[in-house]
Amino acid sequence: MKQKEWFTQEHRIFQESARRFMAKEVLPHIEKWEQEHLIPRELWRKLGDQGYLCPWLPEEYGGLGVEYTYSIVFQEEVVRTTFYSLATGLRVHADIAAPYIFRHGSEEIKQRILPGCVSGETILALGMTEPDCGSDLAALRTSAVKDGGDYVINGQKTFISNGINCDWVVLAVRTDPQAPRHRGISLVMVPSDAPGFSRGRRLDKMGLRAQDTAELVFEDCRVPQEYLLGKEGQGFPIMMENLSQERLAICLGSLVQAERMLEMTLDYVKTRTAFGQTIGSFQANSFKLAEMATEVAIGRTFYESLVDSFVAGEDISTQVAMGKWWLSEMANRVAYACLQLHGGYGYMEEYPICRMSRDVRALPIVGGSTEIMKQIIARGLGL
């Protein structure tokens, strides 16, 4: 495989450190966290102590002041170790919510929140999706009305990653109900101890069980107007500008899971026997594995080209939509075939392929569904 142009010796040292950390501090406990549907806050602090959270932030906010590529390296190690359960919450915290604050928060807000994001003392969530509003973010209903020096917020959010553990929420609200749908939305920071804020039920999901996911409720919730990110009414374009980075992370998660599922299935079919021979030696099975290996290799090449373009500062909005839909669907094709090749054992919880098959099903949905990605690609083609 061609060496990434941006991958330096420092990246390799960072990667090896992260790999050792995950093996020691995460892998022995991931099954327990899956059963508890929650990752302990202690782990967040350990991650912060090692510099793995928001390393791209400048040193004045507690970060390492390095390129975003270090976060990409860390994300890959997390997915490779935990099969994505831990990656979702960390991605939302460090690579989606924190950039909103860094790019659009006031200096007071940045000084108040970002150092804790780096240390792991503060956990972020992103409040966009509502019970009646998923991919169509412009249809959100949660309102924020000015009252004195505060915003009074009313509404509900759902499917919120880090919803149980979060200390702050980057919340999408409608501040101008009279404006056109895309223009009346703003982003407001809401602390978990704000009056009128409460957590609803912890959601019981098909997969990604170690990741806490919850409903959030706002009933006359009051926050100072100084907690606004950017300008009022600019929430929608702010959200759109960060989506390429989010989707790039989902591309990575899809690819690495597909690679891991293929690796473990190859190991399995070379030792499992049926009718006097290994099941990998049957032509039908070997052809299926050859097809999967080809798709995974193509996916890795395309993903690396996306990262190169992103690092170079290019607009990848159309290309990353291509990657997001194809890689997430490819990961699901690989999951189905790999579980089938494991036979009855693949249906048992003791085999990682069982859990991974559940986890990857979320990927064509989160961060914009496959259907939305195809709409974006079509617009990029001038259609």
Instruction: Return d(Cα 319, Cα 168) in angstroms, integer.
Output: 32
pLDDT digits (tens, 9 = 90+) for 2-42: 557 889 999 999 999 999 999 999 999 988 998 888 899 99
For residue 1, is pLDDT > 50?
Answer: no
Instruction: Return d(Cα 305, Cα 48) in angstroms, integer.
Output: 30
H/E run at residue 9:
helix 9-21
- Would you give the DSSP letter of residue 179? S
CATH of 242-380, one of 1.20.120.430, 1.10.540.10, 1.10.10.60, 1.20.140.10: 1.20.140.10
Question: Is 23:77 a contact under the CB 8 Å cutoff?
Answer: no
pLDDT digits (tens, 9 = 90+) for 125-161: 999 999 988 777 778 999 999 999 999 999 999 999 9
Catalytic site positions: 246
Taking CA atoms, 154 is separated from 100, 142, 173, 223, 352, in Å, by 22, 6, 9, 12, 42
9-123 and 242-380 agree in CATH topology? no
Tokens 């929140």 sit at which residue?
Answer: 113
Task: Say which residue, 148 or 202, is predicted with more confidence.
Answer: 148
Question: Is 252:77 a contact under the CB 8 Å cutoff?
Answer: no
- Would you give the DSSP letter of residue 62? T
Q: Report the phi/psi class of residue 7: left, alpha or beta, with left for phi > 0 and alpha for psi in -120 to 50.
A: beta
User: Domain coordinates of the chain in residue numbers?
Assistant: 9-123, 126-232, 242-380
Phi and psi angles of residue 290, each rounded to the nearest 5 degrees, phi first: -65, -40
H/E run at residue 48:
helix 41-49
What's the topology of domain 126-232? Butyryl-CoA Dehydrogenase, subunit A; domain 2 (2.40.110)
For residue 82, is pLDDT > 80?
Answer: no
Residue 239 identity (one-letter amino acid) = M
For residue 76, is pLDDT > 50?
Answer: yes
Q: Which CATH number does 9-123 carry?
A: 1.10.540.10
Using a cut of 0.85, tell me whether the model's pTM lies above it: yes
